[in-house]
């Protein structure tokens, strides 16, 4: 796919992700006041706010411009590290691919970055995620002209309790109360109003993201949504681009 087409595709994916997050934020707003919806994506992250009767999506991709010239100090895909142990196979796999350095600190994966004076500094995945959440929070505050304290954040359906708690911890570091952590497939169903339809039905949700392609099954029973099963998660690096290609490029 041409670079321009891929960028447009990725932007569209982010738009859907933010709409999913915002659909839940709108529900929480009646209890907490202004609540923003945040989608921490692999390719992009964005924030959704509701204003003048419609959703506004404000995206930012400044860091992408630095990746080519300073790869070791451009951190991405950090959400796949959050809440994991250093010895996890996913961590061991990814650390062979990413251009930045992942180190073991107290059994957890930390990102080592060389700061301006040449000194090495390590950051936890929660700290990196908090930086992203802080940027999204500041973007929303500048747009709305008021302070934001509460947010809804979407996460992949397969995130375990440790990963969900780590995402909440990142919110605390960023000065946000994460009112709800929502599975991305569930948020998608709500965004399309499927929870408003009566009766019982099964729904197959395809979540085509910049880093993964997730397929999930949901059951809706008179407005109640239940996550049934994560059918498959395909990573672009491992399945679509194939690990063989990456290995060849690295060699």
* Catalytic site positions: 39, 79, 184, 207
H or E segment at 173? helix 161-173
C-alpha distance from residue 3 to each of 83, 177, 209 (Å): 32, 37, 16
Q: Please state, in angstroms and rounded to a whole number, the distance separating the CA atoms of residues 168 and 163.
A: 9
Q: Please state, in angstroms and rounded to a whole number, the distance separating the CA atoms of residues 2 and 23.
A: 32
Q: Please state, in angstroms and rounded to a whole number, the distance separating the CA atoms of residues 154 and 179.
A: 11
Give every CB contact of residue 182 below 8 A, 6+ residues apart in sequence.
20, 21, 24, 152, 153, 154, 155
């Amino acid at each position: 796919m041409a670079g321009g087409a891929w960028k447009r595709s990725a932007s569209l994916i982010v738009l859907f992700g933010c709409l999913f997050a915002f659909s839940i934020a709108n529900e929480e707003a009646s209890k907490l006041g202004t609540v923003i919806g945040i989608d921490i994506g692999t390719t992009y992250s964005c924030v959704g706010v509701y204003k003048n009767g419609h959703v506004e999506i404000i995206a930012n991709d400044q860091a992408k411009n630095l990746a080519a010239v300073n790869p070791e100090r451009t951190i991405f895909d950090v959400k796949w590290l959050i809440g994991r142990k250093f010895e996890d196979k996913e961590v061991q796999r990814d650390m062979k691919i990413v251009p930045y350095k992942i180190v073991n600190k107290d059994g957890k994966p930390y990102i080592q970055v060389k700061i301006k004076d040449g000194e090495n500094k390590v950051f936890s995945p929660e700290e990196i995620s908090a930086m992203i959440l802080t940027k999204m929070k500041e973007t929303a505050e500048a747009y709305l002209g008021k302070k934001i304290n509460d947010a809804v954040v979407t996460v992949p359906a397969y995130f375990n309790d440790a990963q969900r708690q780590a995402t909440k911890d990142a919110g605390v570091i960023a000065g946000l109360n994460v009112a709800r952590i929502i599975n991305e497939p569930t948020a998608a169903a709500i965004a399309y109003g499927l929870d408003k339809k009566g009766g019982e039905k099964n729904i197959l949700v395809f979540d085509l993201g910049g880093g993964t392609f997730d397929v999930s099954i949901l059951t809706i029973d008179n407005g109640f949504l239940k996550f049934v099963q994560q059918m498959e998660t395909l990573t672009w690096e491992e399945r679509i681009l194939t690990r063989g290609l990456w290995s060849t490029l690295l060699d």
